[in-house]
Amino acid sequence: MNIRLAEEIDIKQLIRMRWDFTIEHDESKKDESFADFEKECQAFLENALNNGQWFIWVAEESGKIVSHIYIELIQKVPRPGRITYPFAYMTNVYTVPDFRNKGIGSKLLATINKWIKENNYEFVIVWPSDDAINYYKKNGYVHCTEPMEYFPS
């Protein structure tokens, strides 16, 4: 098992995994245009891999990506009297079904947790599904109260 940051050569696999992840959780999307999605996702990933704001971590087995976690760094406004570090927003956490419950996701998350600590990022925020709460808890995350949201109409 190789855990590393994604590279441009991984884009096609990441696009397919994002599609599969979405369909797995919302079958109503299966009739959407894959070509349209692929074009949009390709542009997003090319930018994300090169802008220093996104870090896409992957677990790879025999050249195939079997799990990934996306991290976006959120810069904070500086404050007098302390050094300001960004925080990390974790999203698109996914493991291919045949590789689940084998500890791969936890190894990937442990690598990210170490990276977060080494880089002095202030904290990580993630909105887990109900099914994923125990996964995060066993990996050192604590459940917090929900943030407030505003949806413009």
Side-chain half-sphere exposure of 136, counting CA atoms within 13 A: 19
pLDDT of residue 44: 98
Residue 80 lies in a domain: yes
Residue 30 lies in a domain: yes
pLDDT of residue 60: 97
Residue 48 lies in a domain: yes
Instruction: Please state the pTM of the whole predicted model.
Output: 0.92
Domain that holds residue 111: 2-137
For residue 41, give the 3-state DSSP assignment. helix
β-pairing, 87-95 vs 124-126, is parallel
Residue 110 lies in a domain: yes
Residue 147 lies in a domain: no
- Tokens linked to 127: 């909105």
Please say whether the dihedral angle defined by the alpha carbons of residues 50, 45, 9 and 124, taken in this order, is positive or negative: positive
pLDDT of residue 151: 85
Residue 150 lies in a domain: no
Residue 151 lies in a domain: no
- Output the tens digit of pLDDT for each of the chain's 153 residues: 999 999 999 999 999 999 999 999 899 998 899 999 999 999 999 999 999 999 999 999 999 999 999 999 999 999 999 999 999 999 999 999 999 999 999 999 999 999 999 999 999 999 988 889 999 999 999 988 777 787 888
Domains contained in the chain, number: 1
pLDDT of residue 146: 73
Rounded to whole angstroms, how far apart are CA atoms 60 and 48?
19
Query: Residue 114 is part of a domain; what is its CATH number?
Result: 3.40.630.30
Residue 11 lies in a domain: yes
